[in-house]
Amino acid sequence: MKYNFKSIDRLMLLISLLLPAVGLVSCSDDDDKFVPDGPVELSVTRNGADVNALDYGTYGGETLLTLETNAYWDISVSDAADWLVLSNRSGDPTKGLPDREDEPRYIKLTVAPLGQDQSRSCTVTFRAANEVKTVTVNQKQPAAADESGWESAYVANQNMAVGINLFNTLDAVGDWFDPEDVSAWETCWGQPVTTQGWFDAVAAAGFKAVRVPVTWHVHMDENWVIKEPWLNRVEEVVNYALNSGLYCILNVHHDTGQDGWLCADMENIDAISEKFGSLWTQIATRFNKYGEKLLFEGYNEMLDAANSWVEPVAGGYEAVNTLAQKFVDTVRATGGNNAHRNLVVNTYGGGNSQTRFDNLRIPSDNINGHLLVEVHNYSPSKFSNLNGEIDDDNLPTWTPEFESILGKELDIMNEFSNKYNIPVIIGECAAYDKIADEEKGKYGEFLTTYSKGKANISYFYWGALIDRSTYEIISPLLVKGFLKGA
**Which residues form the catalytic set?**
301, 428
Alpha helices in 336-399 (DSSP H): 354-358, 381-384
Backbone angles phi, psi at 30, to 5 degrees: -85, 110
Say how far apart CA 471 and CA 458 lie, in whole Å: 23
Say how far apart CA 181 and CA 233 lie, in whole Å: 11
> What is the β-pairing status of strands 294-297 and 371-376?
unpaired
Say how far apart CA 33 and CA 71 lie, in whole Å: 8
Q: What type of residue is 148?
A: S
Q: What type of residue is 400?
A: P
Burial letters for 312-329: b for 16+ Cβ neighbours within 10 Å, e otherwise? bbebbbebbbbbbbbbbe
Sheet containing strand 90-91, strands side by side? 53-56, 131-140, 119-128, 73-77, 90-91
Q: Are 107 and 67 in contact (CB under 8 A)?
A: yes
